[in-house]
Chain A
Amino acid sequence: MGLVLKETVRLNDEIDYTEIIDTRYHLNAFKADFYMPFTKENLYGMMFLTHLFPYGDPACDTKRKETLWGMANYDPVIETALNSAGDFLVLTLHCEWLDDACVPDGESVTDEVLSHIRVLLFAPETDGKGYAIPEFEELRDILANNMEYEEYNPLSGINSRINRICFRGEPSETEYHIPSEEAREITPEAAYQMLQTMLREAQIRIYATLAAENPVVLSWMQTQFGAISRRTSPLCFVRPSRIKEKPENVCEQFDDFTQSIVAVVYKYEDAPMRDIIYLCDLLDIGPESLLFQNLREKHSLCYSCGIDFEPEKHTVTVTCQTDREHIDEVIALIEDQIEILRNGTYPEELVSVIVKSSYMERVALWDRFFGFGDYVRTQVPLGLEVRKDFAEYVKYTPCSRETVMQCAKQLVLDTVYAAEGLAPADEEEEPDDDDA
């Protein structure tokens, strides 16, 4: 049968469920995205929740019991991840399990997994006020240690530094990090409260991919999510970032890394999504793209360079890791590529390559387990059309040169950031040995 997208079902106020049937795999999965405003309080609560969530079931409330439960049930994936999407935070609950048709002896892993998730989401172990997870302190220590690790690794903080400069005064300037000291102060009450707030207020979008028709899953979703008492209103996820009056240049120096990092940030007021995506493809889709050709192939300035497109913030960021002495040359070359787009002087050959590369990207996504589900997940929050039929889904029409020029002219240089790595490249140090 291949792959079939079914109609979206509204389960509750701002809770939608979309199901896909994909008979090519022996797996079932769903991803539930909980969208909340990007605030420091939500970040702390949601980040901690990602660590605590899997242990909320009293039947498997320790790392050991939870692992045993998973292995005994044919190793389902039950994980939570937190990401930022413009001015919002998205906590994604990802569940994936072996289809019952493959399970020996007529056991139902589907029933086991859904009943476990019901407890984790709607009836976790509490003492009436907060989570009553026996290993709460150990889990909090793990989070705090991870945060401490990030604090000592300057590379992991670079994106936060760039966001602080680019999005000053906007929610997404919030540092995507909890100071380790503060992480050690989070309470079981705060974490449980976050879960309740999310269930009540978050925009919730659920996408499932099933190996075969199974009405049990939809019925479970309707029963569980339909029963929540909600207090929410629709959100618009696209909130363009304010464009600075003149570009800001920031250069920081770091003693403890070798390779320098350059980020050149452009913003735009308004441009059709299709055009801006196409423009990003011209810059960074494969080896023929302008950035790869001009920064890496022609000038050997870097091993990697690329685009970070944030449609929610109307921001296009070009990043490149290069040697310290090449920073200025890289910045100039990046600006040259944008100028090429503004003048429309990119090679015609690039257009046909982009059409092919884009087709390949889409088909590869279609072939990957949950790939089409992920496509739908990215389209829906941005209000973009979801193509259901394979032939429609893979269709790609390039924008005209005129359209690209118009679109590129909308890009305004906002920030130029350089993190200069001062550490020497080839440290040779003898280890300190010790005979015990």
Chain B
Amino acid sequence: MTMHKRIDENPFTGCRCTEVRHESGLIVRVCELPDFHTVSMKLCVRFGGLDLHYRTDGTEFHVLPGTAHFLEHQLFENKDINALSAFSKLGAEANACTDGISTVYEAHTAENPCEVLALLLKTVQEPAFTDKTVSKERGIIMSELRQAMDHPFFKAKLQMRQIRCPGHPECEDVLGNMKSLSEISRDMLMQAYSHWYTPNNMLLSCAGNITLEEVLETVDRVLERIPPRQTEALFPPVKLIPPQRSAVLRERHISAPLTAIEYACDLTGKPPEERYYSWMYSTLACDLIFGDMTEFEEEMLHSDMYSSAKQIYSSSTNFCTTVFLAVSVQDSEQYMNAVFCELENAKRKGLDAELFRIIMRSAYANACSKQGTPNNMAGLMYASWLDGFQPFDTVRLYHACRLSDIEKALPSLFPQEQCMRFDLLPDSSGEEEGEDGNV
């Protein structure tokens, strides 16, 4: 059989990845690293916690929150044996994880890589769960959810989403909620499985001491020929215009008030490159305007209104958000104004060119040093596929980025009308509900 090979090379280290589209529709990416003893393999399915409404071959379907993650747990139930045990008998470690947009099944091994790969493929393509295993796993997942609920910010994070875009799947945690977990059935899991788990919706990435030929031979031998299905997630329109400028939230396990200021821009339906640019520009802009090396940050550190830490993050799923989290702000309105002013200043006067040059050195070091291991490479290969890229495209895009590009993007990334402030207050028992409604 002839398969078209596509090779991508890290422009700085020469590290190479090869991509092949298997006749089943599965994308296979391999990075051969013969100096290593281990092999890392990840099978990524483009089905995650956000995919609650979707269309398959023209018909619309609905699943309950937590379905993708529940399915991930269930696929480890093989016909005769728990798949985790089967991996461990081969000397491999296996795991899986689910996020908003994907489910990834992974195995790492130092022995029998082809057998382990075959088991990984079989695990995902041979669902053998029953009402009994669904019921058993329900208890374990509920326990996992309770553990997650005990982490600070679990509740606040979801409440922020509920205010920002009510009814959007982003308002639900990937694990689901107690009600949805109690209602997810074997039939619902099987329905989601048959719609999403087709080779044309998956990517296999393998990195380490294994060759492309070994991987392809195993895929040929094991992968069942399942007809492709066209499944796409359907998202309700994002209503990003904030209903109010600020909201007060209560959070357990925090000692002092926190202020989160969030900017958002809608990316639904945008092509991958545009989404990636939004993420990249907003990350770089945050570093350049508010990062640890900026005068703004130094002023805040020395001021009375700001006393501890700040986190900046951006996401590139359906809308891009940029959040500034400040601890122990005495006057959150004043802090928000300071952020406004600094952004307006940057939009008007432009960004610091010397700082940009220095940040690019750091990005270069990252491209050189952080991508060499089997696990990192297998991760990079599937994550770039989800973003719609070749593995090293992002390295190239980052290094081709010009300061003027970021400056041009500032108004759309940080629209003042899309800015919202959340004041997180300690949830101390004994206080009246709603007492702190006024900010």
Task: Verify that A and B bind, or say they do not.
Answer: yes
Q: Is B246 an interface residue (CB 8 A)?
A: yes
CB-defined contacts of A390 to chain B, threshold 8 Å:
37
* Smallest Cβ-Cβ distance to B150: which chain A residue: A257
| Chain B min CB distance to A176 (Å) | 18
Q: Is A432 an interface residue (CB 8 A)?
A: yes
User: When the two chains form their complex, are residues B144 and A303 in contact, meaning their CB atoms are under 8 A apart?
Assistant: yes
The CB with the most chain B CB atoms within 10 A, among A145, A255, A323, is that of A145
User: When the two chains form their complex, are residues A64 and B436 in contact, meaning their CB atoms are under 8 A apart?
Assistant: no
User: When the two chains form their complex, are residues A368 and B147 in contact, meaning their CB atoms are under 8 A apart?
Assistant: no
User: When the two chains form their complex, are residues A255 and B358 in contact, meaning their CB atoms are under 8 A apart?
Assistant: no
CB-defined contacts of A435 to chain B, threshold 8 Å:
243-245
Given contact pairs A142-B309, A149-B254, A434-B437, A363 touches B37 in the complex (Cβ within 8 A): yes
User: When the two chains form their complex, are residues A153 and B162 in contact, meaning their CB atoms are under 8 A apart?
Assistant: no
**How many angstroms between the C-alpha atoms of A104 and B361 in the bound complex?**
10
User: When the two chains form their complex, are residues A359 and B110 in contact, meaning their CB atoms are under 8 A apart?
Assistant: yes
Q: Is B439 an interface residue (CB 8 A)?
A: yes
| Chain A min CB distance to B363 (Å) | 9
User: When the two chains form their complex, are residues B146 and A75 in contact, meaning their CB atoms are under 8 A apart?
Assistant: no
User: When the two chains form their complex, are residues B159 and A141 in contact, meaning their CB atoms are under 8 A apart?
Assistant: no
CB-defined contacts of A151 to chain B, threshold 8 Å:
255
User: When the two chains form their complex, are residues B307 and A431 in contact, meaning their CB atoms are under 8 A apart?
Assistant: no
Q: Is A310 an interface residue (CB 8 A)?
A: no
**How many angstroms between the C-alpha atoms of A425 and B12 in the bound complex?**
50
Given contact pairs A287-B84, A357-B91, A323 touches B298 in the complex (Cβ within 8 A): no
1/0 per residue A351-367: CB within 8 Å of B? 01100110110011011
Q: Is B92 an interface residue (CB 8 A)?
A: yes
User: When the two chains form their complex, are residues A436 and B245 in contact, meaning their CB atoms are under 8 A apart?
Assistant: yes
Q: Among B93, B143, B358, point to the contact of A321 (Cβ < 8 A).
A: B143
Q: Is B252 an interface residue (CB 8 A)?
A: yes
| Chain B min CB distance to A26 (Å) | 5
Given contact pairs A75-B361, A145-B307, A436-B245, A152 touches B294 in the complex (Cβ within 8 A): no
User: When the two chains form their complex, are residues A364 and B38 in contact, meaning their CB atoms are under 8 A apart?
Assistant: yes
CB-defined contacts of B308 to chain A, threshold 8 Å:
141-142, 145-146
Q: Is B167 an interface residue (CB 8 A)?
A: no
Report the tally of A-B residue pairs with Cβ distances under 8 A.
Answer: 228
Q: Is B25 an interface residue (CB 8 A)?
A: no
Interface residues of A in 138-160 (CB under 8 A from B): 138, 141-142, 145-146, 148-149, 151-155
**How many angstroms between the C-alpha atoms of A9 and B307 in the bound complex?**
44
Q: Is A62 an interface residue (CB 8 A)?
A: yes
Interface residues of A in 1-25 (CB under 8 A from B): 2, 23-25
Q: Is B374 an interface residue (CB 8 A)?
A: yes
Interface residues of B in 91-142 (CB under 8 A from A): 91-93, 108-111, 136-137, 139-142
Q: Is B403 an interface residue (CB 8 A)?
A: no
User: When the two chains form their complex, are residues A71 and B437 in contact, meaning their CB atoms are under 8 A apart?
Assistant: no
User: When the two chains form their complex, are residues B93 and A360 in contact, meaning their CB atoms are under 8 A apart?
Assistant: yes
* Smallest Cβ-Cβ distance to B426: which chain A residue: A152
Q: Among A26, A68, A142, point to the contact of B13 (Cβ < 8 A).
A: A26
* Smallest Cβ-Cβ distance to A153: which chain B residue: B253
Q: Is B8 an interface residue (CB 8 A)?
A: no
1/0 per residue B237-275: CB within 8 Å of A? 000000111111110111110000000000000000000
User: When the two chains form their complex, are residues A24 and B163 in contact, meaning their CB atoms are under 8 A apart?
Assistant: no
Q: Is B18 an interface residue (CB 8 A)?
A: no
Q: Is A286 an interface residue (CB 8 A)?
A: yes
Q: Among A71, A154, A436, point to the contact of B244 (Cβ < 8 A).
A: A436
User: When the two chains form their complex, are residues A155 and B150 in contact, meaning their CB atoms are under 8 A apart?
Assistant: yes
Q: Is B342 an interface residue (CB 8 A)?
A: no
Q: Among B294, B362, B426, point to the contact of A75 (Cβ < 8 A).
A: B362
Given contact pairs A287-B84, A431-B163, A434-B244, A149 touches B255 in the complex (Cβ within 8 A): yes
Q: Is A302 an interface residue (CB 8 A)?
A: yes
* Smallest Cβ-Cβ distance to B13: which chain A residue: A26
Q: Which residues of B contact A (CB under 8 A)?
A: 12-13, 35-38, 82, 84-85, 87-93, 108-111, 136-137, 139-147, 149-150, 152, 155, 159, 162-163, 177-179, 208, 243-250, 252-256, 291-295, 297-298, 301-302, 307-309, 327-328, 333, 355, 358-359, 361-362, 364-366, 368-369, 372-374, 421, 426, 429, 433-434, 436-439
Can you list 17 A-B pairs with a CB-CB distance of less than 8 A?
A26-B13, A138-B301, A152-B253, A257-B252, A258-B150, A300-B140, A321-B143, A364-B38, A364-B108, A367-B38, A423-B252, A427-B155, A431-B249, A432-B250, A433-B244, A436-B244, A436-B421
Q: Which residues of A contact B (CB under 8 A)?
A: 2, 23-27, 62-64, 67-68, 70-75, 98, 102, 104, 135, 138, 141-142, 145-146, 148-149, 151-155, 255-259, 286-288, 296-297, 300-304, 321-323, 349, 352-353, 356-357, 359-360, 363-364, 366-369, 390, 421, 423, 425-427, 429, 431-436
